[in-house]
């Protein structure tokens, strides 16, 4: 066809990064959902789990109890969703990370499943934005650098293949965690 009749190609649209790092307390994050590093009982615990239940109020635990009654808790690597109660986030996606046990007990695959299953729930509910804590990197003892590499890789792979969620925030609770995430992003993993 003569050049003059060819449709003008659209200028490539700039898509701002859908993955960002934020150093904050996740209970303050105003994403559509935040992820909780829960335990398999879903009845609350220490660390980020305790902070989320304290800040979100009893409604979250009520829904967790209903899920327990229905399906008996949540297995390692899996995820369930509840209200966010009084949190700025509308929903909490509870996922159960693996306890670090030397690294040869399937921990990397289970941790990757936590990210994938949480993102799948977010996509199924068409949630705009989701914030993740460093699942398993506290009481469960997962080495922070390896965990950051898995988090960045799984989120990037998910976003490259899916429309939802539109944005993911990896929440660093301290400067060390932020640096680990930033290094993973910069290394283009």
For 168, the token pair is 């993911």
CB of 13 to ligand ADP, least distance (A): 33
From CA 74, how far away is CA 98, in angstroms rounded? 12
Cβ proximity to ligand ADP, 91 vs 140, nearer residue: 140
Task: DSSP for 117-177, please give it.
Answer: HHHHHHHHTT-SEEEE--TTSSTT---HHHHHHHHHHHHHHHHHH-S-SSEEEEEESSHHH
Least distance from ligand ADP to the Cβ atom of residue 23, Å: 9
Shortest CB 163 distance to ligand ADP, Å: 27
In the bound complex, what is the minimum distance in angstroms from residue 6's beta carbon to ligand ADP? 52
Contact 177, 148 (CB under 8 A): yes
Nearer to ligand ADP, 47 or 90 (CB): 47
Q: Please give the residues from 120 up to 159 whose contact with ligand ADP meets the rule CB under 6 A.
A: 133-140
Give the tokens for residue 88. 């700025």
Other C-beta atoms closer than 10 Å to the C-beta of 9 total 6
Identify the residue whose tokens are 């990197």: 137
Map the footprint of ligand ADP across residues 41-100, applying CB under 6 A.
47-49, 51, 97
By rule CB under 6 A, what count of residues binds ligand ADP?
20
111 counts as binding ligand ADP under rule CB under 6 A: no
Nearer to ligand ADP, 84 or 97 (CB): 97
Contacting positions for ligand ADP (CB under 6 A): 25-27, 37, 47-49, 51, 97, 133-140, 171, 173, 177
């Amino acid at each position: 066809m003569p050049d003059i009749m060819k449709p003008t190609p659209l200028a490539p649209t700039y898509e701002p990064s859908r993955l960002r790092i934020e150093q904050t307390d996740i209970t303050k994050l105003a994403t559509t959902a935040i992820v909780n590093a829960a335990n398999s009982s879903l009845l609350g615990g220490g660390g980020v789990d305790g902070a989320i239940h304290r800040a979100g109020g009893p409604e979250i635990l009520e829904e967790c109890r209903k899920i327990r009654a229905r399906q008996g808790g949540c297995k390692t690597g899996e995820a369930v969703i509840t209200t966010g109660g009084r949190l700025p986030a509308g929903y909490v996606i509870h996922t159960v990370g693996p306890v670090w046990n030397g690294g040869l007990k399937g921990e990397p695959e289970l941790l990757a499943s936590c990210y994938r299953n949480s993102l799948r729930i977010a996509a199924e509910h068409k949630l705009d934005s989701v914030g993740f804590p460093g699942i398993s990197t506290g009481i469960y003892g997962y080495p922070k650098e390896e965990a950051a590499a898995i988090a960045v890789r799984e989120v990037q792979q998910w976003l490259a293949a899916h429309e939802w969620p539109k944005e993911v925030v990896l929440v660093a609770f301290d400067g060390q965690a932020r640096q680990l995430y930033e290094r993973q992003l910069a290394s283009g993993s």
